């Protein structure tokens, strides 16, 4: 049976606060734990009025303390902004506190504007230099996590603490084939962000598998795919609720990071011809419908990627819409 997991971005709906969004993420994680989902990842975005999750490490610790079974991870830590050593220590600490339940998802996107990236790294930091250093950072990070920093390396003899027996599962995240290349070279798992880029993901995963190098992390390749999902009792209800998700994706493309609008606000939005074309095209990045339709589409997606797990980003304006999506899918897949 297909395994299901969740990526939550802590979206801020119009009329709600960032604190509200984080409390909704906590409640969604508790429901996912109860319903039998495999893992729950928290995202990292900065200087965003529409997304509240800026520190996945802190949020993961809170979520794991409130649950008992499900794995928690970052979707993902934006490594170019940070010290590989500090990231290793953060996730070793999480592994020590919640052994066997921690994933470290790594991304290389800026997670905000170039100006925001400079604030994260320091005003003199060069964004492109950070991206160029990414492969070396991944190597350093894995060395710290597995106590395998090579002799002669500038960091030889330095160990990440606390010292723990386990290692977080390491995933590289991306919406292009390049991230799959990095994952295969590192021997890490790979998650393709279909919710960001609805084209080319299957080929990226195939290439990742074919060039995978076994490592201390994984002997065989492991991959998953992440997609927007909105599920309701009927197809018509789902389509009505999806207007909020359609508009949210469109506004993110246009740089309008103002939060999730209600279906009523979405209906009143002044869509241009270009907007309407983009809304239609963006449907390749999501699955919308009743439980039977969504289940079949998720199974087809998994088959096309040749994966046994799919991660969903539950969409919708109301928090109850996101909750209902994961409840209906748990029933459809007999997860309880």
CATH number at residue 48: 3.20.20.30
Residue 79 lies in domain: 3-234+286-332
Best CA proximity match to 77, nearest among 39, 24, 20, 134: 134
Whether 107 is covered by a domain: the verdict is yes
Contacting residues for 59 by C-beta, under 8 A, at least 6 apart: 10, 22, 25, 42, 53
Predicted confidence at residue 129, as pLDDT, reads 59
Contacting residues for 194 by C-beta, under 8 A, at least 6 apart: 201, 225, 226, 227, 285, 301
Tens digits of residue pLDDT in 47-87: 988 999 999 999 999 999 999 999 999 999 999 999 999 99
Cα–Cα distance, 303 to 301 (Å, whole number): 5
Predicted confidence at residue 336, as pLDDT, reads 73
Whether 296 is covered by a domain: the verdict is yes
What φ, ψ does residue 22 adopt, rounded to 5°? -70, -40
Low-confidence ranges of the chain (pLDDT < 70): 111, 123-131
Whether 33 is covered by a domain: the verdict is yes
Predicted confidence at residue 192, as pLDDT, reads 98
Predicted confidence at residue 120, as pLDDT, reads 84
Whether 239 is covered by a domain: the verdict is no
Predicted confidence at residue 202, as pLDDT, reads 98
The answer to whether residues 144 and 159 touch, using CB atoms and an 8 Å cutoff, is: yes
- The total number of structural domains that make up the chain: 1
Predicted confidence at residue 258, as pLDDT, reads 79
Tens digits of residue pLDDT in 104-144: 999 988 767 778 888 887 755 565 555 678 999 999 999 99
Residue found by looking up tokens 């246009």 in the block = 254
Predicted confidence at residue 72, as pLDDT, reads 98
Whether 266 is covered by a domain: the verdict is no
Predicted confidence at residue 63, as pLDDT, reads 98
Whether 254 is covered by a domain: the verdict is no
Contacting residues for 329 by C-beta, under 8 A, at least 6 apart: 4, 229, 231, 291, 294, 295, 298, 312, 335
Question: What's the token pair of residue 84?
Answer: 């590989």
Contacting residues for 28 by C-beta, under 8 A, at least 6 apart: 6, 8, 40, 314, 319, 322, 323, 326
Predicted confidence at residue 164, as pLDDT, reads 95
Whether 194 is covered by a domain: the verdict is yes
Q: How far out from the chain centre does Cα 7 lie?
A: 5
Beta partners for residue 39, in sequence order? 71
Whether 292 is covered by a domain: the verdict is yes
């Amino acid at each position: 049976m297909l395994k299901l997991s969740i990526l939550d971005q802590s979206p801020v709906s119009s009329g709600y606060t960032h604190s509200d969004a984080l409390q909704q993420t906590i409640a969604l994680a508790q429901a996912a734990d109860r319903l039998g989902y495999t893992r729950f990842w928290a995202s990292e975005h900065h200087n965003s009025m529409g997304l509240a999750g800026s520190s996945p490490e802190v949020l993961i610790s809170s979520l794991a303390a409130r649950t008992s079974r499900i794995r928690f991870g970052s979707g993902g830590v934006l490594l170019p902004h940070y010290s590989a050593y500090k990231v290793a220590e953060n996730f070793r600490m999480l592994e020590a506190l919640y052994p066997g339940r921690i994933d470290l998802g790594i991304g290389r996107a800026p997670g905000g504007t170039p100006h925001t990236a400079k604030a994260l790294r320091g005003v003199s930091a060069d964004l492109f230099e950070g991206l160029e250093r990414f492969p070396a950072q991944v190597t350093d990070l894995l060395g710290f996590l597995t106590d395998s920093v090579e002799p002669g390396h500038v960091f030889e003899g330095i160990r990440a603490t606390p010292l723990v027996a386990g290692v977080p599962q390491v995933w590289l995240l991306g919406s292009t084939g390049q991230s799959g290349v990095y994952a295969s070279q590192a021997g890490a798992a790979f998650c393709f962000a279909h919710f960001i880029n609805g084209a080319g993901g299957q080929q990226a995963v195939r290439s990742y598998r074919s060039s995978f190098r076994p490592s201390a992390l994984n002997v065989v390749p492991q991959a998953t795919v992440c997609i927007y999902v909105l599920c309701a009792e009927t197809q018509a209800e789902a389509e009505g609720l999806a207007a909020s998700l359609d508009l949210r994706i469109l506004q993110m493309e246009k740089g309008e990071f103002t939060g999730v609008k209600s279906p009523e606000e979405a209906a009143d939005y002044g869509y241009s011809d270009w907007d309407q074309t983009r809304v239609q095209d963006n449907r390749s990045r999501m699955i919308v419908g009743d439980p039977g339709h969504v289940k079949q589409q998720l199974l087809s997606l998994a088959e096309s990627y040749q994966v046994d797990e799919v991660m969903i980003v539950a969409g919708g304006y109301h928090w109850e819409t996101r909750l209902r999506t994961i409840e209906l899918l748990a029933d459809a897949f007999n997860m309880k």
